[in-house]
Structure 1
């Protein structure tokens, strides 16, 4: 009798495991869509609507960069970045192209300092950023495109504004496990 109960229990556990695996595969696209947001749609469009190819690419990004741990910035580095960004915004008035070039370089350096690939390849860096900051990475792409001379002053202005979202999230992210007082101070300094 106990043997029958054990066999039934094993069969039920195996059936449950099979169900969960099948269910997990069928919701993979929804999980990727939820994780990547607009980046999911951008990748599908780049693959001419082939969602399977786009999902393979996004899954590969997660495998390559998902375990990346963002490094914290020292407070003086955080302040220096904030000061440089303010200078970029001021520079835009007199020299939009130079400001966009500086914003592009500043974002690449900030991403590198936070632990993302150093941008030997812009695509490698944006792929890694998209895994962790999918909602903000497109502004960085727009700035990078503007640097290559595509678009007028209005397009550069919009690109600079959109790229600010990635700059802010990279600058404001707190260290992984800060002490309570550090977390409170980091929020206060980020708001200033």
Structure 2
């Protein structure tokens, strides 16, 4: 009698585990869509609409980078990074391309200090960042893509504004300070005052 009860218990547990596994697979895509947002659509497009391949790639990213906890920054480090970002914004007025390139370097350095792994390419780092900053990772790609100097001033300004959002997220800020947000508007005003035009 005891043996029968044990067998029945094992069968019931196996059935429950199977049901949970199937349920997890059924909702896995929806969970990945919620987690990755626009990054999900980007990966899906790269796999020519094959949701299974796209979700396998995203699940692999979570396995590789999901445990990154974000190394804490000291108050001194936060002040140092904030001061450097301010200099990037100020430099934009006279040298937009150089400022955006410097912003890319700064994001690389800050992400490494926060615990993201060394990467062989900007895209490898973008994949790691996408696990934790999916809604902002495109700004990282745009900053690095802008290094070729093909964008106009207004496009570069917008790229820097978006990169600022990722910078704040990596720094641990929820939103930019009003004074910081005002600086991006000032960049545009100063450019117009100097007679700069968007190419």
- TM-score, scaled relative to structure 2: 0.81
Q: How far off its partner does 1:116 sit? A: 0.8
Q: How far off its partner does 1:76 sit? A: 0.9
* SS of equivalent residue, structure 1 residue 94: coil
- Cα RMSD after superposing both structures: 2.0
**Deviation readout 1:70-124 (Å, 9 max, x if unpaired):** 1111111110100111111111111111110111111111111111123332122
2:195 maps to none
1:64-103 maps to which residues of 2 (within 5 A)? 64-103=64-103
Work out whether 1:168 is the aligned partner of 2:168.
Answer: yes
CA contact (8 A) 1:108 1:118 kept: no
1:22 maps to 22
Work out whether 1:48 is the aligned partner of 2:48.
Answer: yes
Where do 5+ consecutive residues of structure 1 fail to align?
Answer: 174-186
1:143 maps to 143
Separation in 2, partners of 1:119, 1:22: 35
Where do 5+ consecutive residues of structure 2 fail to align?
Answer: 180-199
Separation in 1, partners of 2:57, 2:4: 46
1:159 maps to 159
Separation in 2, partners of 1:40, 1:80: 34
Separation in 1, partners of 2:9, 2:115: 47
Aligned length in residues: 177
